[in-house]
Amino acid sequence: MPREVGPWTQDKLKILQQYLPVYLLATTRALERIYIDAFAGPGLNRLRGKSRTIDGSPLIALDARARNGTKFDRLFFIERDPAVAAELRDVLNTRDKTQRASVIEGDVNKELPELIKTLPLQSPTFVFVDPDGIEPRWTTIEAIAPWRTELLINFPLGMSINRNPDSAKVTAYFGTDQWRGMWSSAGLGRSRALLQLYKERLGNLGYRYTTEDDRLIKTSGGQHLYYLVFVSKIAIAAQRIMTWVLKQPDSAGQTRMDI
């Protein structure tokens, strides 16, 4: 059955829906284009309190098309839960008429490093990292860094990290215990410091192109959930395009100025 989600989920999905066609256009000359969803889910979402069903990230990527017709040549959807993975396969049996997509069942920290080793080093590969908790481990990010990857990452600050200040998973997520020294800071200063630490470490892996302002996703009541972090190793054009996307109105039609 479709996964129940809050209305704010539409914000990140809209960003993905706007960016992918431009990414595909920019990579048209490559031999192939690859999409990886590290935490795929069932493919369909139902908005909480409503009967309406919307496409999740796997189906948005599957349907993404540049204005010249370019699509992803191969798509890989990683999902830990066997029942959810089976549901996604059922959805793809109906939607993936060209059989470009594969569902990989298992832990992202094992499956993503193994998957990336089977892919051409220079094939443009877009990786969407949208976990429910403090995932993936930093070693997983390190494993995919040598490839020609762009990442859109759910940085789970409000949802997870702030609730687990003593968790070993936080250290595994950052790949360092430097975050502990920032924890004594209060409020927004701490959030920004932790986010900056993560982005600096991504930059050290070669992901030098990023957006200046990351989209802060909030609940309808204004509670901070997570930031969407975009990084690329490839070209400053990607940075400019995503900056433009993030300045577009959100799913409710509001232009956000996150501080």
Q: Where are the domains of the chain?
A: 3-246
Q: In Å, how far are 7, 22, 254 from 185, measured between CA atoms?
A: 31, 39, 31
- Kindly report, residue by residue over 41-81, the tens digit of the pLDDT: 999 988 887 778 889 999 999 999 999 999 999 999 999 99
Which residues, in sequence order, are CB contacts of 18 under 8 Å at separation 6+? 245, 248
Whether domain 3-246 has CATH 3.40.50.150: the reply is yes
Q: Give me the mean pLDDT over the 163-170 stretch.
A: 78
Whole-number Å distance between alpha carbons of 154 and 229: 6
- Kindly report, residue by residue over 230-256, the tens digit of the pLDDT: 999 876 678 888 888 888 766 555 555
Residues 239/213, Cβ–Cβ less than 8 Å: no
- How confident is the model at residue 85, as a pLDDT? 97
- How confident is the model at residue 187, as a pLDDT? 58
User: Which residues face 125 on adjacent strands?
Assistant: 34, 149
Quote the pTM value: 0.92
